[in-house]
Amino acid sequence: MAFGAIVDASIEFVAYRRLRNAPRLAVLITAVGMSFIVQNISLVFFDVNFRSIPPLVSEGNVFTVGGVSLGWQTLFVVAFTIPVLIILTWLVQSTRQGKAMRATAQDPEASAMMGINVNRTISFTFLLAGGLAGIGAVLFLTQFNIRYDTGFEIGLIAFTAAVLGGIGNLSGAVLGAIIIGMVQAFNEGPFLWAPGSDWTRSIVFGILIAILVFRPEGLLGERTPEGG
């Protein structure tokens, strides 16, 4: 968490802070560029091979339902995710810092006029995001192997989950992630009618396009009118 927070806050300071008033396309291109820079730095240190970590908890199964075994590792991920979500929701919705984050996201100039330190608020947001990315990486490693470019694909899927659930809605993002996970599990499962793993990315990003076209506010998001 500490490493992810430091890296993310450093990227914000070096790359994004100077683009506060730049067009959104410039920020988007910078984000893609920074992603490739981080990937290639990781490639230098960790090469192209997949890496894993020793089990954090027992690898035994807890119980089996309908032929599906649920292990301690899976329960560990769920048990860790729920309190993190609760704490994050409390932080964003109920604390002074969280209110500053939401105000800055809506209107940075008005927030600054009301006395909010916009730069510090954005830096804190990146710091928090980096720490959460560290948590997510460890939880992902308890289930799967990882290599230098795994985060890029996972990031796209996470963005799809956030759009599916509703941008800015934390519970919606979790719901979107569960739905995408279930779609992937069914698609790559033992069913004869399933297209197979080669089609997983196409299906996931097809869902993203459909949501953006037919319900851009997401499943749990609220449609907000654009200001005139």
Model confidence pLDDT, tens digit, residues 153-164: 888 888 888 888
Task: Report percent pLDDT > 90 for the chain.
Answer: 23
Q: How far is CA 54 from the centre of its chain?
A: 24
Q: How far is CA 89 from CA 99, 210, 214, in A?
A: 11, 27, 27
Is a pLDDT exceeding 80 seen at residue 25? yes
The radius of gyration computed from the CA coordinates of the chain, to the nearest angstrom, equals 19
For residues 40 and 219, the model is more confident at 40
10-24, 42-56, 142-156, 214-228: least confidently modelled range: 214-228
Is a pLDDT exceeding 90 seen at residue 193? no
First to last CA, the chain: 41
pLDDT given for residue 227 in this prediction:
44
Question: How far is 98 from 119, CA to CA, in rounded Å?
Answer: 14
Query: What are the residue ranges spanned by the domains of the chain?
Result: 1-147, 149-228
Please answer whether residues 62 and 79 qualify as being in contact, where contact means their C-beta atoms are separated by less than 8 angstroms.
no
Please answer whether residues 72 and 60 qualify as being in contact, where contact means their C-beta atoms are separated by less than 8 angstroms.
yes
